[in-house]
Structure 1
Amino acid sequence: MDSGPARGDSAATVSFTQMKDGTREDYLLLAEHEHAYQSGTADRLLAELRRQGEQTLEGYKISRLEHGLQSAARAEADGADIDWIVGALLHDIGDALAPQNHDRMAAEVIRPFVRWDVSWVVEHHGIFQMLYYAHHYGWDRDARDRFRDHPCFQLCADFCERWDQASFDPTYPTPPLEHFEPMVRAVFARKAYDPAVVREGETTSLTA
């Protein structure tokens, strides 16, 4: 009788071709692989940021990576804490794969590992940014007003004003990605969805 995959064997695979047929041993094996994969999340995010440095942000004076770095640098200069700095660095990480809803994609990437208010701001920064340009296309620049009563409204407005919309300046003194790498690794080494980190429903100051 097949006892299932040998655990600890890097070449082992599950016994099933449909998930409903999986055994406990199958899922213990997958859990081991999943844990190893999850531990590499920071590496993959940093690699994606480097790829953004090779992509032009068409029409702008800087690359996608430079925009993220500059946003994070402005946050750090303002005395923001690690959650806000990493949120600023990664707020456009979804641009390549989800240009129409990159804000939501970025928020889902960081949500398990940062405070609730940071992920909310990253998720909604796209609609808040419309204040600066939507009227040029005949769109509603005040679309963000639907969130006027939300406790994170002013945080998101300030995030966009201080860090996002201002960070397209090729002359701004911006450190390299390596400067922020330890922060990315520290955030993504946290336990996912730790209530002590997420602090659901609480809001914090954007800057020190």
Structure 2
Amino acid sequence: METVSFTQMKDGTKEEYLFLNKHEEAFAKGLPDRILHALKQLENTLSGYQVSRLEHSLQSATRAEADGADDELVVAALVHDLGDDLAPHNHAQFAAAILRPYVRPEVTWIINQHGLFQNVYYAHHLDGDPNERDYLKDHPWYQSCVDFCEKWDQASFDPDYPTKPLSHFEPLVRRIFTRPAFDPKYVGNQTMGKSAVDIAMSGQENA
């Protein structure tokens, strides 16, 4: 079989979906390469700062690593602005969606909320509410997101900071993004939004 025969998904057979699943699995193995490529593209995006968006991302990850953050937080710091090109108005949610199948829920939550939490530094200059994040103060990961933004994100626009290159973080990217998707060992029992392909690739039978 080179291609499936159906033109509507509802007409597909089990044999065809098993065939497609093999293609999905093979494609997913290339995710680290695509993430590394996307990070490199940040070198030429969002002008006006003293550093490129790639340099900001690398500096955030370098600071996280220097502070003794675990691998999941370091890679999260590296990819937290990966959505700037394709999702400029919800880049945080874009990055969180990429991370979600591979890291613990706390890390996904931090990245999902970091855009909102960053507002505290500048929203008042743009007639916005810098304290909008306050409605989340009782959330158990509120302080973790505050720390992420204060120590690593908002501080990483310094052209003189000794930032490590992308090659330094490449092994980490490959290690995290080749984990089995939605493996409970890493993500707990997250199941919402998983497709049958996600389930098959994670080795789980029930969503």
Q: TM exceeds 0.5?
A: yes
CA contact under 8 A between 1:56 and 1:62: conserved in structure 2?
no
Secondary structure of the corresponding residue to residue 103 of structure 2 = coil
RMSD: 1.1
2:23 matched to 1:13? Answer: no
- Which of 27, 32, 41 is matched with 1:51 structurally? 41
The equivalences for 1:122-201 within 5 A come to 122-199=111-188
TM-score, normalised to structure 1, is 0.89
Q: Shift of the alpha carbon at 1:23?
A: 1.2
- The size of the alignment, in residue pairs, is 190
Q: Shift of the alpha carbon at 1:175?
A: 1.0
CA contact under 8 A between 1:49 and 1:93: conserved in structure 2?
yes
- Which of 46, 61, 67 is matched with 2:56 structurally? 67
TM-score, normalised to structure 2, is 0.90
Gaps of 5+ in 1: 1-5, 7-11, 202-208
| Partner AA of 1:147 in structure 2 | L
CA contact under 8 A between 2:106 and 2:141: conserved in structure 1?
yes
1-side partners of 2:56 and 2:92: how far apart? 14
Cα deviation, 1:140-172, whole Å, max 9, x if unaligned, reads 000000100000000000000000000000100
Distance change in 2, residues 1:200/1:18 (3 Å) = closer
Secondary structure of the corresponding residue to residue 50 of structure 2 = coil
2:107 matched to 1:112? Answer: no
CA contact under 8 A between 1:115 and 1:200: conserved in structure 2?
no
Quick one: percent identity of the two aligned structures? 58
Cα deviation, 1:37-87, whole Å, max 9, x if unaligned, reads 11111110000001111x143210111111100000000000111000000
Matched with 2:25 is 35
Matched with 2:193 is none
- Which of 65, 69, 72 is matched with 1:83 structurally? 72
Q: Which has the larger radius of gyration?
A: 1
